[in-house]
Amino acid sequence: MKIRAALPHRPQTLRKDEASMATLADRIKPLKGRRIYLFGAGDCGVHARHMLEKRFGVTVCGFIDSFRSGTLDGLPIVRADTFHAEHAQNSAVLITSQYWREIRDGLRARGHDRYDLLVHAPVSWRNLNHFQSKLVSVDAAAANGVPPGRLSPAASPQADGAPHVQNTDVQDTGSLTADAPEQSLLTVPFNSDCSVDLPLTERCNLRCGYCPHHDTSRKDWSETAPWLVDRVHAFLTPHPGVRIELGGGAGETTVLKDWQRQAERFMAIGSRLRMTTNLARELRWDEAETLSRFFHISVSFDSVDSRILKSVRVGANPAKIVFNIAQIRAAAMAVGREPPSFNIQAVVTDKSVALVDQVAAMAAALGIKYVRYIALNGGTYDAALSGIAGLARDQARKAVAAFERAFEIGIDADITIEVDDEVSDCLAACLSRPATLEDAAAPAVPEAIPAAIPAAIPVAEPGLVAGAPAEGCPPGKTRLCLEPWTHVIFTYDGTVFSCCYGAPTFRPDYAAIGTDMNAIFNDEPIRDLRRRLLTGDLSALCHNCLQKPMVAVSDLREKVDALIRVRRQPCNVESPNG
């Protein structure tokens, strides 16, 4: 399926006469026969190499990195300065790093204009293989009458063409040994590479069926105390460049009368703002102009189908969402400024799952580069809405086909498509059922949640206290989670944690720490979480986390070590993940 994506603000590319609507296949075709280098010696670069070779028949000569050399995936890593001196003239470069803007500017400064971007398609290709590996064998076995308990393990992503990225023999990495001291990894200076979440309100202008706001009678929504906003502003003043999520939590920031004033305050100290928003009401031009100076906007957009969206997210209108996105981009373009990047978050429900590919197509048409499909956990506040646990096998197969189309759109338009493992696991369970639900008892659809349950920023579930030890954690394993080294979340009352699941939850002594952000970033609860992750001594909350994969402790240590080294580089244009 070919969807031609609008790619605004694309750099000068390998084909000067190509249209901006060119598909990835159109852009790759001229590369055959050339010496191709991938700028980004990380996981994305490896997946890009295998996608190019397996899907497009293009041979890659090696990788480029800003400050290191060595080998990766059997190919040489060439330092950027060496590449420009020895290889640039007859080579084409595909940028496969999330720091593509910095890399692009560096290439332009050196007069190298034979480059293009390949940042998102390799991730969608990897995610497609991972998605299929979890589902194909389950569906085939169910069709042949094999009980789910007797299934052999599903094919690995490697078997379907998504390679596992092995540790590289990069020179001078300073990788940790198993018995190396970890103190240098437990205390990390807070700097502009870190991010902060500061929700401002729980109030919202929608009544989504899976959200406590579905109960219109409740009025006691929290708002962040002015003293806390002022204190966070003081914390971040010495750290220009920090990424701030000005919102999040359970509310919609743009319903506040002074949200623009707060945004201007943080932008004035050099903070890079992002926001999660529903864009449900038509913005004024001045509001769009304020948002146009954010660096990233995450839009909640469950379905392109107007009828479905309005029934799931009561009060939402796809036409207003699309108009607001266009208006924000226009406000930036009107003054010659690059618009913010956007992504779409789509909650997968029984009403929307059959049309998930339309969301990916809309993202491609709008020039949006990232779409994430999120599982609907637990029950709902609307009895007419549920997750996808109750799908019959035929319905699940149609849903799988829709997700596969979404991945293909992502590859073709060079956008990232991500499906939470909870979604694919649920589909796998549905595929393992008989052909019709009449042949077996249908699983219970989650009941509606009593509307009296309050909304709040997610915290640990009962029994999953952040510090409680986990049972049955595999020895030598841990979660691949870098949040405690990069992320701080403030709640409405001043409580702090590092991840959206509430680990660790604590309240700093604000009177004692003054305006020192490092005192919070390296407070003992966060240091203890880092220690547990680095040793595999996971709490129950981390052990049961479904967002971060389980990996060897040594793998996490290397990632953390690389993260810290990269953050200390004077010219940071790479990340450990490429």
For residue 112, the model assigns a pLDDT of 79
Mean pLDDT for 428-435 is 86
For residue 470, the model assigns a pLDDT of 53
Query: Residue 504, preceding bond cis, omega within 30 degrees?
Result: yes
Mean pLDDT for 401-425 is 96
For residue 452, the model assigns a pLDDT of 39
- Pick from 14-18, 132-136, 468-472 the range whose average pLDDT is largest: 132-136
CA angle (508, 509, 515) in 5-degree steps: 90
Instruction: Look at residue 117 and give its three-state secondary structure.
Output: strand
CA distance 386 to 388: 7
For residue 527, the model assigns a pLDDT of 94
For residue 310, the model assigns a pLDDT of 96
Tokens standing for residue 480: 């691949």
For residue 294, the model assigns a pLDDT of 98
Tokens standing for residue 355: 């049309």
For residue 475, the model assigns a pLDDT of 86
CA angle (121, 126, 127) in 5-degree steps: 95
For residue 490, the model assigns a pLDDT of 95
CA distance 288 to 124: 30
pTM for the full predicted model: 0.81
pLDDT in tens, 478-528: 999 999 999 999 999 999 999 877 888 999 999 999 999 999 999 999 999
pLDDT at 5 over 60: no
Mean pLDDT for 339-350 is 97
More confident residue, 524 or 453: 524
List strand residue ranges (DSSP E) for 49-88, in order.
60-65, 70-72, 75-79
For residue 14, the model assigns a pLDDT of 38
pLDDT in tens, 40-97: 988 889 999 999 999 999 999 999 998 889 999 999 999 998 988 887 677 889 999 8
DSSP 373-409: EEE--S-BSSTT---STT--HHHHHHHHHHHHHHHHH
Q: Which of 169-173, 286-290, 329-333, 497-501 has the lowest mean pLDDT?
A: 169-173
pLDDT at 393 over 60: yes
Identify residue 330 by its one-letter amino acid code: A
The residue extents of the domains of the chain are 24-119, 457-578
The domain at 24-119 falls in which architecture?
A: 3-Layer(aba) Sandwich (3.40)
User: Which stretch of DSSP H or E encloses residue 478?
Assistant: strand 477-479
Please report, for residues 245, 273, 358, 458, the alpha-carbon distance to residue 286 in angstroms, rounded to integers and kept in the order given. Answer: 20, 17, 31, 32
pLDDT at 187 over 50: yes
For residue 284, the model assigns a pLDDT of 98
pLDDT at 311 over 80: yes
CA distance 141 to 537: 37
Q: Return mean pLDDT, the chain.
A: 83
Whole-number percent of the chain with pLDDT over 70: 79
For residue 155, the model assigns a pLDDT of 37
458 band by pLDDT with thresholds 50, 70 and 90: very low
For residue 463, the model assigns a pLDDT of 39
